[in-house]
A = this chain, B = another copy of it.
């Protein structure tokens, strides 16, 4: 029998409860397909801060690197929101992405026919939306140097960051995006702000250069402000979107809300050779943690992405995807259009993204 080592990072808030459901689902799908999983649970985020004083303990990163794939629940909570930067749960997540070199973040956002009413968009606008945001995840303004605080030449207090992309970073994410588009409808839209930013001008130039390797994929370009509008106006015009780290952060969240089913949406973060990182896109929802109200479907679908993109176990992945559709077809729902928890409680995941002080 095949066997894989999976690092589980339950994290904070509803993280532990959704991870525990996804673990059961993996075990079940694995037992049918003849796959064995060895799970190794580690501390991460606020839970790690409380126990060890840092948001990503060395031991966690080492275990993650040595495993075949990493499944993360959620991190963060009001409790740690006022921490200094290096002591924030989010910093642990950025260190994990950097440490695993997972530069390619795939965020599907599709409207399932069963859940079309959950969208705030009109039915005719929402139905049939099926897009994939390919977000660059280990570069750009998130990691660029110099960064920090200081004074300008007139002695004014300043805060600053650097948006920087190297050609090779753009090339490799562009290739992932073209490959992704090729497997989907063959349409790729690259989003940038090349009318203003030099980093975006290089982005556009390299994406156009890489396009020569994919003559079968139809490439278009859009400015980020327009993309934010077009996602609201007519999301169906998009198939695969590729963009930088910060624009991808913004647009993938917008796209996920357009589906109305943020408690349903998974993500995959891939490197060129090491283990991938798989996580639901929703937050840690501390307000409902421990109440068996959290919708586990986003984490279950992240486990399916782990099987498909992380381990190449497509049959087991599809088993899980079908089971999710089956549950929806059989009418399991929450008050707001999502899934009931094991205990029959109602579900609202994603209410917590961060605090509003």
Contacts and interface: CB of A to CB of B under 8 A. Distances in A.
A120 interface: yes
A142 to B, nearest CB: 6
A223 interface: yes
Contact of A196 (B94, B157, B262): B94
With most chain B CB atoms within 10 A of its CB, the pick from A148, A163, A195, A196 is A196
Contact of A250 (B160, B195, B250): B250
A159 B165 contact: yes
B85 A149 contact: no
Nearest to A223: B354
A228 interface: yes
Contacts of A173: none
A253 B229 contact: yes
A185 interface: no
Interface residues of A, number: 71
A327 interface: no
A92 to B, nearest CB: 11
Contacts of A168: 156
A162 B167 CA distance: 18
Interface stretch (A57-65, A198-206, A295-303, A317-325): A198-206
Interface in A227-271: 228-234, 246-247, 249-254, 256-258, 262
Interface string A195-227: 111111111000010000000000011111110
Contact of A225 (B147, B162, B196, B353): B353
Contacts of A121: 120-122, 232
A152 interface: yes
A195 B167 CA distance: 27
A247 B252 CA distance: 15
B158 A166 contact: yes
Contact of A161 (B147, B158, B163, B221): B163
A241 to B, nearest CB: 13
A49 interface: no
Contacts of A167: 156-158
Given A159-B164, A163-B141, A234-B120, A221 B353 contact: no
A144 interface: yes
A356 interface: yes
A156 B166 CA distance: 6
A353 B162 contact: no
Contacts of A231: 254
A88 interface: yes
Contacts of A234: 120
Contact of A202 (B159, B203, B256): B159
> Which are the 10 A-B pairs with shortest beta-carbon distances?
A159-B202, A229-B257, A160-B164, A228-B254, A156-B166, A225-B253, A226-B353, A157-B167, A220-B356, A159-B199
28 contacts: A85-B198, A88-B195, A120-B122, A120-B232, A120-B234, A141-B163, A144-B160, A147-B197, A149-B198, A152-B166, A156-B166, A156-B168, A158-B165, A159-B164, A159-B165, A159-B200, A159-B203, A160-B199, A161-B198, A161-B199, A163-B163, A220-B356, A221-B356, A226-B354, A228-B254, A231-B254, A247-B250, A254-B254
Interface of A: 85, 88, 90, 94, 120-122, 125, 141-142, 144, 147-149, 152, 156-168, 189, 193, 195-203, 208, 220-226, 228-234, 246-247, 249-254, 256-258, 262, 353-357
